[in-house]
Structure 1
Amino acid sequence: MRHGHVDYFAPGLTDPRSVPLTDEGREQAQAAGEALRHAHFDLAVYSGLPRTKQTAEIVLKNNDAPPALEAHDGLEEVKSRWIRAKSREELAARLAYSFDGAAEPSASFLPDGETFVDAESRITNALQELILEKTWKSALIVAHEGVNRIVLGWACGGGLATIAAFEQDLCCINMIDVDVTPDDDGDGLQIERMAIKTLNVTAYDYVKKGLSRSSLEHLFDVDFGGLRPRKTDGNAKI
Protein backbone atom coordinates (compact mmCIF):
# COMPACT_ATOMS: atom_id res chain seq x y z
CA MET A 1 0.00 0.00 0.00
CA ARG A 2 0.81 3.66 -0.25
CA HIS A 3 0.12 5.85 2.79
CA GLY A 4 -2.91 8.11 2.94
CA HIS A 5 -3.20 11.84 2.26
CA VAL A 6 -0.85 14.26 4.04
CA ASP A 7 -0.26 18.02 3.93
CA TYR A 8 3.36 19.05 3.54
CA PHE A 9 2.33 22.71 3.92
CA ALA A 10 0.51 22.26 7.23
CA PRO A 11 1.06 25.14 9.69
CA GLY A 12 3.95 24.49 12.05
CA LEU A 13 5.40 21.57 10.08
CA THR A 14 9.20 21.86 10.00
CA ASP A 15 10.24 18.34 8.95
CA PRO A 16 8.35 16.70 6.05
CA ARG A 17 9.46 13.28 7.28
CA SER A 18 7.26 13.71 10.35
CA VAL A 19 4.11 14.78 8.49
CA PRO A 20 0.98 13.00 9.83
CA LEU A 21 -2.13 11.88 7.96
CA THR A 22 -4.82 14.47 7.39
CA ASP A 23 -8.48 13.79 8.11
CA GLU A 24 -8.80 12.82 4.43
CA GLY A 25 -5.85 10.44 4.77
CA ARG A 26 -7.41 8.76 7.80
CA GLU A 27 -10.68 8.32 5.92
CA GLN A 28 -8.80 6.74 3.02
CA ALA A 29 -7.05 4.34 5.38
CA GLN A 30 -10.34 3.44 7.07
CA ALA A 31 -11.81 2.55 3.66
CA ALA A 32 -8.79 0.37 2.91
CA GLY A 33 -9.11 -1.24 6.33
CA GLU A 34 -12.74 -2.07 5.68
CA ALA A 35 -11.81 -3.62 2.33
CA LEU A 36 -9.11 -5.71 4.02
CA ARG A 37 -11.07 -6.47 7.20
CA HIS A 38 -11.19 -10.22 6.59
CA ALA A 39 -7.76 -10.58 4.95
CA HIS A 40 -5.39 -12.68 7.03
CA PHE A 41 -1.93 -11.14 7.52
CA ASP A 42 0.95 -13.03 9.09
CA LEU A 43 3.23 -10.00 8.82
CA ALA A 44 2.64 -6.23 8.83
CA VAL A 45 5.44 -3.79 7.95
CA TYR A 46 5.70 -0.02 7.56
CA SER A 47 8.57 2.20 6.45
CA GLY A 48 9.33 3.67 9.87
CA LEU A 49 7.81 7.08 9.07
CA PRO A 50 4.68 8.38 10.85
CA ARG A 51 2.44 8.54 7.78
CA THR A 52 2.96 4.87 6.93
CA LYS A 53 2.66 3.79 10.56
CA GLN A 54 -0.64 5.65 10.99
CA THR A 55 -1.99 4.20 7.75
CA ALA A 56 -1.04 0.65 8.76
CA GLU A 57 -2.52 1.06 12.26
CA ILE A 58 -5.86 2.25 10.85
CA VAL A 59 -5.94 -0.52 8.23
CA LEU A 60 -5.24 -3.17 10.86
CA LYS A 61 -7.54 -1.73 13.54
CA ASN A 62 -10.61 -3.72 12.52
CA ASN A 63 -8.78 -6.70 11.04
CA ASP A 64 -9.92 -10.05 12.37
CA ALA A 65 -6.48 -11.07 13.67
CA PRO A 66 -3.88 -8.34 13.10
CA PRO A 67 -0.19 -9.16 13.59
CA ALA A 68 2.22 -6.89 15.45
CA LEU A 69 3.39 -3.98 13.31
CA GLU A 70 7.09 -3.85 12.40
CA ALA A 71 9.21 -0.99 11.01
CA HIS A 72 11.76 -1.44 8.21
CA ASP A 73 13.70 1.68 7.24
CA GLY A 74 14.84 0.01 4.02
CA LEU A 75 11.35 0.84 2.74
CA GLU A 76 11.59 4.59 3.34
CA GLU A 77 10.72 6.86 0.43
CA VAL A 78 13.35 7.62 -2.22
CA LYS A 79 15.45 10.29 -0.55
CA SER A 80 15.87 13.88 -1.71
CA ARG A 81 17.80 16.85 -0.41
CA TRP A 82 16.01 19.79 1.20
CA ILE A 83 13.95 21.73 -1.33
CA ARG A 84 12.78 25.31 -1.02
CA ALA A 85 9.45 25.93 -2.68
CA LYS A 86 7.31 29.04 -2.39
CA SER A 87 4.03 27.30 -3.12
CA ARG A 88 2.31 23.97 -3.57
CA GLU A 89 2.31 24.60 -7.32
CA GLU A 90 6.06 25.10 -7.49
CA LEU A 91 6.85 21.98 -5.46
CA ALA A 92 4.33 19.89 -7.40
CA ALA A 93 5.86 21.05 -10.69
CA ARG A 94 9.32 20.00 -9.54
CA LEU A 95 8.07 16.60 -8.42
CA ALA A 96 5.99 15.93 -11.53
CA TYR A 97 8.95 14.71 -13.56
CA SER A 98 10.69 12.91 -10.67
CA PHE A 99 10.41 9.38 -12.06
CA ASP A 100 10.97 10.16 -15.74
CA GLY A 101 14.35 8.91 -16.93
CA ALA A 102 14.94 6.91 -13.74
CA ALA A 103 16.88 4.26 -15.70
CA GLU A 104 19.38 6.76 -17.08
CA PRO A 105 22.93 6.56 -15.65
CA SER A 106 23.27 8.49 -12.36
CA ALA A 107 19.61 9.61 -12.47
CA SER A 108 18.51 10.84 -9.05
CA PHE A 109 15.31 11.78 -7.28
CA LEU A 110 15.35 15.57 -7.67
CA PRO A 111 18.72 17.41 -7.82
CA ASP A 112 21.37 15.82 -5.59
CA GLY A 113 18.90 13.27 -4.21
CA GLU A 114 19.34 9.51 -3.87
CA THR A 115 20.13 7.87 -7.20
CA PHE A 116 17.44 5.55 -8.47
CA VAL A 117 19.98 2.74 -8.79
CA ASP A 118 20.83 3.07 -5.08
CA ALA A 119 17.16 3.35 -4.12
CA GLU A 120 16.27 0.28 -6.17
CA SER A 121 19.05 -1.71 -4.47
CA ARG A 122 17.98 -0.57 -0.98
CA ILE A 123 14.28 -1.24 -1.54
CA THR A 124 14.56 -4.58 -3.34
CA ASN A 125 17.08 -5.80 -0.76
CA ALA A 126 14.56 -4.93 1.98
CA LEU A 127 11.82 -6.83 0.15
CA GLN A 128 14.04 -9.85 -0.46
CA GLU A 129 14.97 -9.87 3.22
CA LEU A 130 11.30 -9.91 4.20
CA ILE A 131 10.44 -12.57 1.60
CA LEU A 132 13.37 -14.93 2.12
CA GLU A 133 14.21 -14.55 5.81
CA LYS A 134 10.79 -14.40 7.47
CA THR A 135 8.08 -17.06 7.60
CA TRP A 136 4.71 -15.86 6.36
CA LYS A 137 2.08 -16.46 3.72
CA SER A 138 0.40 -13.06 3.48
CA ALA A 139 1.88 -9.70 4.43
CA LEU A 140 0.73 -6.08 4.59
CA ILE A 141 3.43 -3.57 3.65
CA VAL A 142 2.69 0.16 3.83
CA ALA A 143 5.23 2.34 2.06
CA HIS A 144 5.44 5.27 -0.36
CA GLU A 145 4.84 6.24 -3.98
CA GLY A 146 8.47 5.96 -5.09
CA VAL A 147 9.02 2.75 -3.14
CA ASN A 148 5.92 1.14 -4.62
CA ARG A 149 6.83 2.19 -8.16
CA ILE A 150 10.26 0.60 -7.78
CA VAL A 151 8.77 -2.59 -6.30
CA LEU A 152 6.28 -2.84 -9.16
CA GLY A 153 9.06 -2.30 -11.71
CA TRP A 154 11.04 -5.07 -10.03
CA ALA A 155 8.03 -7.40 -9.89
CA CYS A 156 7.19 -6.98 -13.58
CA GLY A 157 10.80 -7.44 -14.67
CA GLY A 158 11.02 -4.03 -16.32
CA GLY A 159 13.06 -2.34 -13.62
CA LEU A 160 13.59 1.40 -13.42
CA ALA A 161 12.64 1.95 -17.06
CA THR A 162 9.00 1.19 -16.17
CA ILE A 163 8.41 3.05 -12.90
CA ALA A 164 7.08 6.29 -14.40
CA ALA A 165 4.12 4.31 -15.78
CA PHE A 166 2.92 2.98 -12.42
CA GLU A 167 0.50 5.52 -10.93
CA GLN A 168 0.08 5.12 -7.17
CA ASP A 169 -2.93 6.95 -5.81
CA LEU A 170 -3.02 7.86 -2.15
CA CYS A 171 -3.70 4.86 0.11
CA CYS A 172 -3.87 2.52 -2.89
CA ILE A 173 -3.62 -1.26 -2.61
CA ASN A 174 -1.41 -3.47 -4.80
CA MET A 175 -1.19 -7.25 -4.61
CA ILE A 176 1.91 -9.16 -5.68
CA ASP A 177 2.15 -12.95 -5.66
CA VAL A 178 5.64 -14.33 -5.05
CA ASP A 179 6.67 -17.94 -5.64
CA VAL A 180 9.48 -18.95 -3.27
CA THR A 181 11.37 -22.22 -3.82
CA PRO A 182 14.51 -23.91 -2.46
CA ASP A 183 17.68 -22.47 -4.00
CA ASP A 184 20.12 -24.52 -6.07
CA ASP A 185 22.17 -25.48 -3.02
CA GLY A 186 19.11 -26.65 -1.13
CA ASP A 187 20.07 -24.76 2.03
CA GLY A 188 18.12 -21.56 1.42
CA LEU A 189 15.29 -20.00 -0.56
CA GLN A 190 15.03 -18.09 -3.81
CA ILE A 191 12.37 -16.03 -5.56
CA GLU A 192 11.34 -18.00 -8.62
CA ARG A 193 8.74 -15.64 -10.06
CA MET A 194 6.46 -12.71 -9.22
CA ALA A 195 3.08 -11.67 -10.60
CA ILE A 196 1.18 -8.41 -10.09
CA LYS A 197 -2.42 -9.43 -9.32
CA THR A 198 -3.87 -6.09 -8.23
CA LEU A 199 -2.64 -2.60 -9.06
CA ASN A 200 -3.49 0.83 -7.61
CA VAL A 201 -6.88 -0.10 -6.12
CA THR A 202 -8.44 2.75 -4.10
CA ALA A 203 -11.05 1.41 -1.69
CA TYR A 204 -12.50 4.89 -1.14
CA ASP A 205 -13.19 5.26 -4.90
CA TYR A 206 -12.99 1.90 -6.67
CA VAL A 207 -13.78 3.19 -10.17
CA LYS A 208 -11.81 6.44 -9.62
CA LYS A 209 -14.76 8.63 -10.53
CA GLY A 210 -13.33 11.40 -8.35
CA LEU A 211 -9.67 10.68 -9.11
CA SER A 212 -9.28 12.12 -12.58
CA ARG A 213 -6.21 14.06 -11.45
CA SER A 214 -2.88 12.36 -10.87
CA SER A 215 -1.98 11.41 -7.31
CA LEU A 216 0.53 14.29 -7.25
CA GLU A 217 -2.16 16.79 -8.23
CA HIS A 218 -4.45 15.31 -5.59
CA LEU A 219 -1.75 15.45 -2.92
CA PHE A 220 -0.87 19.09 -3.57
CA ASP A 221 -4.37 20.22 -4.61
CA VAL A 222 -3.28 21.52 -8.02
CA ASP A 223 -4.42 20.80 -11.57
CA PHE A 224 -1.87 20.44 -14.36
CA GLY A 225 -4.54 19.52 -16.88
CA GLY A 226 -2.59 16.31 -17.47
CA LEU A 227 -0.08 14.01 -15.81
CA ARG A 228 2.63 16.68 -16.09
CA PRO A 229 2.66 20.49 -16.17
CA ARG A 230 3.48 22.05 -19.52
CA LYS A 231 7.18 22.62 -20.20
CA THR A 232 8.40 25.94 -21.58
CA ASP A 233 12.07 26.42 -22.54
CA GLY A 234 13.00 23.30 -20.61
CA ASN A 235 11.32 24.39 -17.38
CA ALA A 236 8.07 23.15 -15.91
CA LYS A 237 5.46 25.88 -15.83
CA ILE A 238 2.07 25.93 -14.12
Structure 2
Amino acid sequence: MRLRALAAKGLLTATRLYLVRHGQVADGCTDVYNGHNDVDLSLAGVRQCQALAEYLQDVQLAGIYSSDLTRTRRGAEMICRGRNLEVEVCPEFRELNFGIWEGLSFQEIMERHPSELRQRFNDLANFRIAGGESLTDMQTRVIPRLEELLARHAGQALLIVAHAGVNRVILSQAMGLSLHRVFHLDQAYAGLNIIDYYPDLAVVRLLNGIFYPSS
Protein backbone atom coordinates (compact mmCIF):
# COMPACT_ATOMS: atom_id res chain seq x y z
CA MET A 1 0.00 0.00 0.00
CA ARG A 2 2.82 2.42 0.85
CA LEU A 3 4.47 1.81 -2.55
CA ARG A 4 1.17 2.43 -4.37
CA ALA A 5 0.66 5.69 -2.48
CA LEU A 6 4.17 6.88 -3.33
CA ALA A 7 3.75 5.91 -6.98
CA ALA A 8 0.48 7.85 -7.14
CA LYS A 9 2.31 10.94 -5.92
CA GLY A 10 5.15 10.43 -8.39
CA LEU A 11 7.64 9.87 -5.58
CA LEU A 12 9.04 6.55 -6.77
CA THR A 13 11.19 8.16 -9.43
CA ALA A 14 14.75 7.50 -8.39
CA THR A 15 17.47 10.08 -8.07
CA ARG A 16 20.43 8.46 -9.81
CA LEU A 17 23.98 9.05 -8.65
CA TYR A 18 26.92 8.26 -10.93
CA LEU A 19 29.77 8.03 -8.44
CA VAL A 20 33.28 8.00 -9.93
CA ARG A 21 36.77 7.66 -8.52
CA HIS A 22 39.49 9.83 -10.08
CA GLY A 23 41.95 8.30 -12.53
CA GLN A 24 45.41 7.05 -11.70
CA VAL A 25 47.57 9.76 -10.16
CA ALA A 26 51.09 10.73 -11.18
CA ASP A 27 52.58 8.62 -8.36
CA GLY A 28 49.89 5.95 -8.67
CA CYS A 29 52.36 3.07 -8.83
CA THR A 30 54.13 3.89 -5.56
CA ASP A 31 51.34 3.10 -3.05
CA VAL A 32 51.48 6.62 -1.56
CA TYR A 33 48.72 7.92 0.71
CA ASN A 34 48.01 11.29 -0.89
CA GLY A 35 44.95 12.32 1.10
CA HIS A 36 44.67 16.11 0.83
CA ASN A 37 47.93 16.42 -1.14
CA ASP A 38 47.03 17.94 -4.51
CA VAL A 39 48.62 15.57 -7.02
CA ASP A 40 47.75 15.50 -10.72
CA LEU A 41 46.64 12.64 -12.95
CA SER A 42 49.18 10.49 -14.76
CA LEU A 43 48.89 10.02 -18.53
CA ALA A 44 47.26 6.66 -17.82
CA GLY A 45 44.83 8.41 -15.48
CA VAL A 46 43.88 10.89 -18.20
CA ARG A 47 43.21 8.02 -20.63
CA GLN A 48 41.09 6.24 -18.02
CA CYS A 49 38.94 9.33 -17.48
CA GLN A 50 38.62 9.91 -21.22
CA ALA A 51 37.37 6.35 -21.68
CA LEU A 52 34.81 6.82 -18.92
CA ALA A 53 33.72 10.18 -20.37
CA GLU A 54 33.13 8.46 -23.71
CA TYR A 55 31.11 5.72 -22.04
CA LEU A 56 28.92 8.32 -20.31
CA GLN A 57 28.59 10.71 -23.23
CA ASP A 58 24.90 9.88 -23.89
CA VAL A 59 23.88 9.93 -20.22
CA GLN A 60 21.74 12.95 -19.35
CA LEU A 61 23.14 14.66 -16.26
CA ALA A 62 21.59 17.53 -14.31
CA GLY A 63 24.79 18.31 -12.39
CA ILE A 64 28.47 17.34 -12.23
CA TYR A 65 30.44 17.72 -9.00
CA SER A 66 33.95 16.96 -7.77
CA SER A 67 36.20 17.52 -4.82
CA ASP A 68 38.44 20.57 -5.04
CA LEU A 69 41.58 18.54 -5.72
CA THR A 70 43.15 18.48 -9.19
CA ARG A 71 42.88 14.74 -9.73
CA THR A 72 39.08 14.82 -9.38
CA ARG A 73 38.45 18.16 -11.07
CA ARG A 74 40.26 17.11 -14.25
CA GLY A 75 38.21 13.94 -14.56
CA ALA A 76 34.96 15.83 -13.96
CA GLU A 77 35.93 18.41 -16.58
CA MET A 78 36.47 15.66 -19.16
CA ILE A 79 32.99 14.30 -18.47
CA CYS A 80 31.59 17.85 -18.71
CA ARG A 81 32.87 18.46 -22.24
CA GLY A 82 30.09 18.87 -24.79
CA ARG A 83 27.48 19.41 -22.08
CA ASN A 84 25.84 22.65 -21.05
CA LEU A 85 27.20 22.21 -17.54
CA GLU A 86 30.10 23.35 -15.40
CA VAL A 87 31.80 21.36 -12.68
CA GLU A 88 30.78 22.48 -9.20
CA VAL A 89 33.61 22.00 -6.74
CA CYS A 90 32.78 20.61 -3.29
CA PRO A 91 35.63 20.60 -0.73
CA GLU A 92 33.51 18.24 1.40
CA PHE A 93 34.30 15.47 -1.08
CA ARG A 94 38.07 15.57 -0.46
CA GLU A 95 39.81 12.31 0.33
CA LEU A 96 40.49 11.35 3.94
CA ASN A 97 43.03 13.62 5.60
CA PHE A 98 45.87 11.24 6.44
CA GLY A 99 47.65 13.80 8.61
CA ILE A 100 51.24 12.83 9.34
CA TRP A 101 50.87 9.81 7.04
CA GLU A 102 50.28 11.88 3.91
CA GLY A 103 52.92 11.33 1.24
CA LEU A 104 54.04 8.04 2.83
CA SER A 105 53.71 4.58 1.37
CA PHE A 106 52.10 1.76 3.36
CA GLN A 107 55.55 0.25 3.92
CA GLU A 108 56.83 3.55 5.32
CA ILE A 109 53.83 3.82 7.64
CA MET A 110 54.45 0.29 8.93
CA GLU A 111 58.07 1.15 9.63
CA ARG A 112 57.54 4.59 11.20
CA HIS A 113 54.14 4.27 12.90
CA PRO A 114 53.55 0.57 13.67
CA SER A 115 51.64 1.16 16.92
CA GLU A 116 49.29 3.71 15.33
CA LEU A 117 48.71 1.44 12.35
CA ARG A 118 47.68 -1.39 14.67
CA GLN A 119 45.30 0.99 16.46
CA ARG A 120 43.73 1.93 13.14
CA PHE A 121 43.20 -1.70 12.16
CA ASN A 122 41.60 -2.34 15.57
CA ASP A 123 39.13 0.55 15.20
CA LEU A 124 38.96 1.43 11.54
CA ALA A 125 35.93 3.70 11.80
CA ASN A 126 37.06 5.86 14.70
CA PHE A 127 40.85 5.93 14.78
CA ARG A 128 41.99 9.47 14.00
CA ILE A 129 45.41 9.78 12.39
CA ALA A 130 47.56 12.42 14.09
CA GLY A 131 46.90 15.71 12.33
CA GLY A 132 44.21 14.07 10.20
CA GLU A 133 40.77 12.45 10.29
CA SER A 134 38.97 9.25 11.12
CA LEU A 135 36.56 7.63 8.68
CA THR A 136 33.74 8.81 10.94
CA ASP A 137 35.04 12.38 10.65
CA MET A 138 35.02 12.07 6.87
CA GLN A 139 31.52 10.59 6.87
CA THR A 140 30.33 13.57 8.91
CA ARG A 141 31.46 16.03 6.22
CA VAL A 142 30.62 13.93 3.14
CA ILE A 143 27.08 12.67 3.79
CA PRO A 144 25.34 16.00 4.52
CA ARG A 145 26.74 17.47 1.29
CA LEU A 146 25.66 14.38 -0.63
CA GLU A 147 22.14 14.60 0.80
CA GLU A 148 21.96 18.26 -0.16
CA LEU A 149 22.85 17.44 -3.78
CA LEU A 150 20.41 14.51 -3.91
CA ALA A 151 17.63 16.84 -2.73
CA ARG A 152 18.66 19.47 -5.29
CA HIS A 153 18.44 16.93 -8.12
CA ALA A 154 15.47 14.88 -6.91
CA GLY A 155 14.24 12.66 -9.74
CA GLN A 156 17.25 13.52 -11.92
CA ALA A 157 20.75 12.14 -12.48
CA LEU A 158 23.92 13.69 -11.11
CA LEU A 159 27.58 12.71 -11.18
CA ILE A 160 30.26 13.08 -8.51
CA VAL A 161 33.98 12.51 -9.10
CA ALA A 162 35.62 11.87 -5.76
CA HIS A 163 38.13 9.57 -4.07
CA ALA A 164 38.31 5.93 -3.00
CA GLY A 165 37.66 6.72 0.66
CA VAL A 166 34.81 9.11 -0.05
CA ASN A 167 33.17 6.66 -2.44
CA ARG A 168 33.44 3.82 0.06
CA VAL A 169 31.72 5.94 2.71
CA ILE A 170 28.87 6.80 0.31
CA LEU A 171 28.51 3.19 -0.83
CA SER A 172 28.61 1.92 2.76
CA GLN A 173 25.75 4.20 3.71
CA ALA A 174 23.73 3.16 0.65
CA MET A 175 24.28 -0.53 1.43
CA GLY A 176 23.81 -0.26 5.19
CA LEU A 177 27.38 -1.38 5.91
CA SER A 178 29.44 -0.43 8.93
CA LEU A 179 32.45 1.80 8.30
CA HIS A 180 34.53 -1.05 9.74
CA ARG A 181 33.86 -2.89 6.47
CA VAL A 182 34.68 -0.15 3.95
CA PHE A 183 37.69 -1.98 2.56
CA HIS A 184 35.44 -4.84 1.45
CA LEU A 185 34.46 -2.42 -1.35
CA ASP A 186 37.05 -2.08 -4.12
CA GLN A 187 37.34 1.28 -5.89
CA ALA A 188 39.56 1.17 -8.96
CA TYR A 189 40.94 4.24 -10.69
CA ALA A 190 38.15 5.80 -12.81
CA GLY A 191 35.78 3.13 -11.51
CA LEU A 192 32.06 3.85 -11.85
CA ASN A 193 29.32 3.17 -9.31
CA ILE A 194 25.62 3.78 -9.92
CA ILE A 195 23.21 4.24 -7.02
CA ASP A 196 19.46 4.87 -7.32
CA TYR A 197 18.00 6.73 -4.34
CA TYR A 198 14.30 6.19 -3.62
CA PRO A 199 12.35 7.80 -0.74
CA ASP A 200 12.92 4.86 1.59
CA LEU A 201 15.94 2.98 0.23
CA ALA A 202 19.02 3.15 -1.95
CA VAL A 203 19.75 0.53 -4.62
CA VAL A 204 23.29 -0.01 -5.89
CA ARG A 205 22.97 -0.79 -9.60
CA LEU A 206 26.68 -0.94 -10.45
CA LEU A 207 29.72 -1.35 -8.24
CA ASN A 208 33.23 -0.44 -9.43
CA GLY A 209 32.59 -0.73 -13.16
CA ILE A 210 35.71 -0.27 -15.30
CA PHE A 211 35.50 0.90 -18.91
CA TYR A 212 39.12 0.98 -20.07
CA PRO A 213 41.66 -1.74 -20.92
CA SER A 214 43.32 -3.23 -17.85
CA SER A 215 46.76 -3.37 -19.51
TM-score band w.r.t. shorter chain: 0.7 to 0.9
1:9–1:202 Cα change, 3 Å: closer
1:147 maps onto 2:147 in alignment: no
SS of residue in 1 equivalent to 2:198: strand
1:20–1:101 Cα change, 3 Å: same
- TM-score scaled to structure 1, two decimals? 0.68
Question: CA shift at 1:111, angstroms?
Answer: 4.4
Contact 1:43–1:136 (8 Å) recurs in 2 = no
Post-superposition Cα deviations, 1:188-236, rounded to whole Å, max 9, x if no partner, equal: xxxx21011001011113xx5x5xxxxxxxxxxxxxxxxxxxxxxxxxx
1:27, 1:131 → 2: CA distance? Answer: 29
SS of residue in 2 equivalent to 1:141: strand
Question: CA shift at 1:179, angstroms?
Answer: 1.2
Question: CA shift at 1:83, angstroms?
Answer: 3.0
Identity of aligned residues (%): 27
Residue 139 of structure 2: which of 120, 124, 134 is its match? 120
1:193 maps onto 2:211 in alignment: no
Contact 1:150–1:159 (8 Å) recurs in 2 = no
Question: CA shift at 1:120, angstroms?
Answer: 1.0
Greater share of helix: 2
1:78, 1:86 → 2: CA distance? Answer: 14
SS of residue in 2 equivalent to 1:74: helix
Contact 2:23–2:189 (8 Å) recurs in 1 = yes
Residue 107 of structure 1: which of 127, 130, 139 is its match? 127
Cross-structure match for 1:68? 86
Post-superposition Cα deviations, 1:84-122, rounded to whole Å, max 9, x if no partner, equal: 76768536998x99777423xx323x4452122221111
Cross-structure match for 2:39? 19
2:75, 2:178 → 1: CA distance? Answer: 27
1:87–1:79 Cα change, 3 Å: closer
Question: CA shift at 1:59, angstroms?
Answer: 2.2
The count of aligned residue pairs is 186
Matching residue's letter, 2:189: L
Question: CA shift at 1:21, angstroms?
Answer: 0.8
1:128, 1:84 → 2: CA distance? Answer: 28
Residue 203 of structure 1: which of 197, 203, 211 is its match? 211
Residue 32 of structure 1: which of 28, 49, 52 is its match? 52
Q: Which structure carries more relative contact order (alpha carbon 8 Å, separation 6+)?
A: 2
Cross-structure match for 2:7? none
- TM-score scaled to structure 2, two decimals? 0.75
1:99, 1:171 → 2: CA distance? Answer: 27
1:16–1:149 Cα change, 3 Å: closer
CA RMSD between the two structures: 3.0
